[in-house]
Amino acid sequence: MIDKIRAGAAAALETVHSGASVVIGGFGRTGVPVDLIDALCARDVRELHVIANNGGQGLPGERGIGRLLAENRVKKFSCSFPVNPAFFRRYFDGEVEIELVPQGTLAERLRAGGSGLGGFYTPTAAGTILADGGFVMRHGTPEKTLPPKEQRVIDGRTYVLEFPLRPDFALVKADRADRYGNLRFRLGARNFNPLAAMAARTTVVQADHIGSLAPDDIHLPGPFVDHLVRTEPEAA
């Protein structure tokens, strides 16, 4: 029998190790798997390569990706919009690395990883320091800058070669799931979540509801999901 439902987030995340790459769904505060992140922060996991669109706000007591950054668990952050004052301080101090990726390229690199593709050509970023090189990924001595990316003219237009992302783990938030791991998301909370699930070698999902789903109501089929936990009810 197929049953991907685990007893709790701690059990579902027990193989996540320091140094792992972890992609996390969400856009701003929408669709972020905060329970899974809390469970991850309960373990001694550090030096993560986190892949996520946003970096949280850097507020005291913040949940989500901002908590991972605040607790200094991230050595490299691949993202489009890292905006988090505390993390930026560590970036300018040369303690952490930022791989800045245009948002559509980030989405497509995750999808390519999940689809077994070797890379793709996108027109995005051509003629900018995110393609021609020069963006400072890590400050300090020596400074690390983004190397120029391979470019190619196809049908008269310049495209940039981008490679897939294939992280060790994905943390994903769904609205509804069944025991097969089939997922359905809710409105703007879908965003990067299905792509994160596709890309990772091991995908852990928190779902607000667990039940059955009609075949055409499923946004992401179960083979992309490994472990599933029910979202913790909000504390009163």
Residues that bind a copy of itself (CB under 8 A): 108, 112, 115-123, 152, 154-155, 157, 159, 163, 184-187, 190, 215-217, 219
DSSP state for residue 156 in the 8-state scheme: T
State the Cα–Cα distance between residues 117 and 234, nearest whole angstrom.
Answer: 39
Residue 1 interacts with, from a copy of itself, other proteins, none (CB under 5-8 Å by kind) = other proteins
Shortest spacing between CB 46 and other proteins, in angstroms: 24
Answer yes or no: are the C-beta atoms of 229 and 5 closer than 8 Å.
yes
Residue linked to tokens 């990316």: 149
Of 208, 197, 204, 205, whose CA–CA distance to 231 is shortest? 208
188 binds other proteins (CB under 8 A): yes
Q: Which residues, 3 to 42, sit near other proteins by CB under 8 A?
A: 27-31
Residue 151 interacts with, from other proteins, a copy of itself, none (CB under 5-8 Å by kind) = none
State the Cα–Cα distance between residues 197 and 224, nearest whole angstrom.
Answer: 6
Residue among 182 and 206 whose Cβ is closer to other proteins: 182
Applying CB under 8 A, which of residues 10, 11, 59, 117 lies at the interface with other proteins?
117
Tokens at 95, concatenated: 């303690």
Residue among 45 and 125 whose Cβ is closer to other proteins: 125
Applying CB under 8 A, which of residues 149, 219, 230, 232 lies at the interface with other proteins?
219
Q: Compute φ and ψ for 217, nearest 5 degrees.
A: -95, 0
Residue among 88 and 163 whose Cβ is closer to other proteins: 88
Residue among 162 and 227 whose Cβ is closer to a copy of itself: 162
Q: Which residues, 56 to 85, sit near other proteins by CB under 8 A?
A: 80-83
Buried b (16+ CB within 10 A) or exposed e, 182-204: bbbbeeebbbbbbbbbbbbebbb
192 binds other proteins (CB under 8 A): yes
Applying CB under 8 A, which of residues 9, 20, 90, 108 lies at the interface with other proteins?
108
State the Cα–Cα distance between residues 174 and 193, nearest whole angstrom.
Answer: 8
CA distances 186 to 111, 156, 194, 205, 219, Å, are 20, 40, 12, 14, 10
Residues that bind other proteins in the complex, under the rule CB under 8 A: 1-2, 27-31, 53, 80-83, 88, 98, 100-108, 110-111, 113-117, 122-130, 134-135, 178-180, 182, 185-195, 198, 212-213, 215-216, 218-219, 221-224
